[in-house]
Structure 1
Amino acid sequence: MYLAVGCAMWTHKAWPWHSLPSAERLRAYSSWCTAVEGNTTFYATPPLATARSWAAQTSPDFRFIPKFPRTVTHERRFTGVEADVRAFLDAVEPLGRRASALWVQLPSAFAPADVPALATFLRRLPRSFRYAVEVRHPAFFADATTAGALEQVLAAAGAEWLPFDTTEFFRTPPSSDDERDAWTKKPRVARRDTALTDRPIVRYLGRDDPARTVEGWRPWVETVAGWLREGRSPTVFLHTPDNAAAPQLARRFHDDVRAAVPALEPLPEPAPIDASPAEPLTLF
């Protein structure tokens, strides 16, 4: 029984390990959280040495969800991308099982009519990796038939549907600069909590007020607890517009799930940070 929790990145100016040398920040982060989103690979495929460094700084059970390059998913839309895909797969190979799933994030313009192209793309990928697909077009969330067609394509590839839950964030108008910025950028779609595989992945966006964030994730505590009882091994990523308290929130979420599923092992205590943060990490 295993629940991985993490954030959108492994360093942030508000986190004390941000003052460490860049080559040591992931190691420090991995003592707080057990997973991280792989957003950096969306913008540039890393050299092998970089992925080897990531692996060296984390335990074998740590989970990365590296994102396919934007040239593949957004710019060329799966057409003529063989070289880019091969380079990406080669680059993340040093992560081994730490690459828990490779993330196919699709733009909001990717509509139900484009699903056959996704099906072809997934069929051509090696089965040595797991895959997770994030869609943002409203039709996938509003129509059961459309959602079912996508689920069939994902099931055929053994891929997971990766939801980004922004329902709590959009419940009330923004109240900070970071929230106002996120208001214009984040997808506004219905909450989805159906797992297709034994390793569901969830992205949850709360508010800059930690209490609001905690209150909004209550349904996810129940859902994730149910997945664990079914023998699944989920990964949950906690976001807020400013992400200042994201690592603490990730650990708090794990604690809340463990309260519902006592058999879940607690997270280890974070390693001491050999740095001098301006303020300690606290939630409330």
Structure 2
Amino acid sequence: MSHQVSEQRCYIGLTQWQHAAWQENILQRSQNEHILKAYSRHFSSVEGNSTFYGLPKADTVKIWTEESDPTFRFCFKFPQEITHRNHLRSTTKETSAFLNRLQPLQEQLGLLCIQLPSSFDSDHLPTLSNFLLNLPEGFNYGVEVRNLCFFDKQETEREFNQLLAKNNVSRISFDTRALFNDPSDDPISLKAKMHKPKLPVHAISTSKYPMVRFITPLDWELGTDYLTPWINKAIHWMDEGKTPFFFFHTPDNAEAPELAAYFVNQLEKQRPGSCLFNPWLPAKKQDNLF
């Protein structure tokens, strides 16, 4: 990275920095304190999904720089206009606008994420190669694919992995196994299964900054067995001198902080001090007035 990072430690984050369910624990703050400031007291990174739908205002980016710790890392998604509508073709202008808008945050950027739709298959690899070749230096990038051809363990996957490694771009892993192996059919779970990809997990690191996205069933404790291999993988990556990013989801994200805290606790039993994470105090209980 062009800026300093904490080597051989894991960045820990969620898919967003505010949620109604978090107000009494991780988002406890004074009336005038920005909600991002409260979030970044505990988590060292966040997935910036809002940029997928449009560029933030310049004033908003300025606020983000002011209200987060200098060691905090934002991992923003490329706009869907670039990745989904145009499949990375003829997007020089849009890509420049995206990166220029985030320029004030450059020292606080982790990975910029190129999430590709399931329609992006092996026929598009030359387009991806050209796109990566023309990306400016000074940023770190990751690619998430959702077409099964990139999980075939054959020529297509090898070519894809080699392309990413050649350009020092991370292959982002999205582990949805716990979600899809859970039989729950409540509306929240069904909605999550409708929108999340059901794909194999190939835990391959093609850059110095691996990224893992992990989602559980609504009852997140039913998915913790799937975390054990990631704990071992995190230790392996750190032993290689890499700096992993881990992001935690649940179908409604209400208890995603608890899931993240569980992962940190389990990992630090084996590797104390390996996570950039600060636990929060339990929610304050109101005194009984009667």
1:38 positional shift: 0.9
1:171 alignment counterpart: 181
1:260 alignment counterpart: 270
1:267 positional shift: 2.9
1:279 positional shift: 7.7
1:247 alignment counterpart: 257
Give the conservation status (yes or no) of the 8 Å contact 1:4–1:34: yes
Q: Pick from 211, 219, 241: which aligns with 2:229?
A: 219
1:93 alignment counterpart: 103
Identical pairs, percent: 32
1:145 alignment counterpart: 155
Deviations 1:79-103 (A, max 9, x none): 2212211110011111123111111
Matches within 5 A, 1:22-33: 24-33=34-43
Matches of 2:113 and 2:182 in 1, distance apart? 30
Amino acid at match of 2:237: W
2:91 alignment counterpart: 81
Q: 1:108 to 1:21 in 2, by over 3 A?
A: farther
Tell me how many residue pairs correspond in the alignment. Answer: 276
Q: Pick from 5, 13, 35: which aligns with 1:6?
A: 13
1:23 positional shift: 7.3
1:44 alignment counterpart: 54
Q: Secondary structure, in 3 states, of the residue corresponding to 1:195?
A: coil
Tell me whether 1:229 sits opposite 2:239 in the alignment.
yes
Query: Which has the larger displacement, 72-81 or 11-20?
Result: 11-20
Amino acid at match of 1:3: C
5+ residue gaps, structure 1, are none
Deviations 1:131-166 (A, max 9, x none): 000000011112332111011211222101001111
Matches of 1:266 and 1:152 in 2, distance apart? 30
Q: 1:202 to 1:226 in 2, by over 3 A?
A: same
1:208 alignment counterpart: 218
Deviations 1:210-248 (A, max 9, x none): 211322211111111211122211010011101111122
Amino acid at match of 1:64: F
Matches of 1:14 and 1:268 in 2, distance apart? 19
Give the conservation status (yes or no) of the 8 Å contact 1:31–1:271: no
2:22 alignment counterpart: 15
Query: Which has the larger displacement, 48-57 or 12-21?
Result: 12-21
Tell me whether 1:57 sits opposite 2:72 in the alignment.
no
Give the conservation status (yes or no) of the 8 Å contact 2:12–2:276: no
RMSD: 2.2
Amino acid at match of 2:63: S
Q: TM-score, normalised by structure 1?
A: 0.90
Q: 1:265 to 1:215 in 2, by over 3 A?
A: closer
Give the conservation status (yes or no) of the 8 Å contact 2:10–2:276: no
Matches of 1:171 and 1:22 in 2, distance apart? 43
Amino acid at match of 2:9: Y
5+ residue gaps, structure 2, are 1-7
Query: Which has the larger displacement, 131-140 or 250-259?
Result: 250-259
Matches within 5 A, 1:109-120: 109-120=119-130
1:40 positional shift: 0.4
Q: TM-score, normalised by structure 2?
A: 0.89
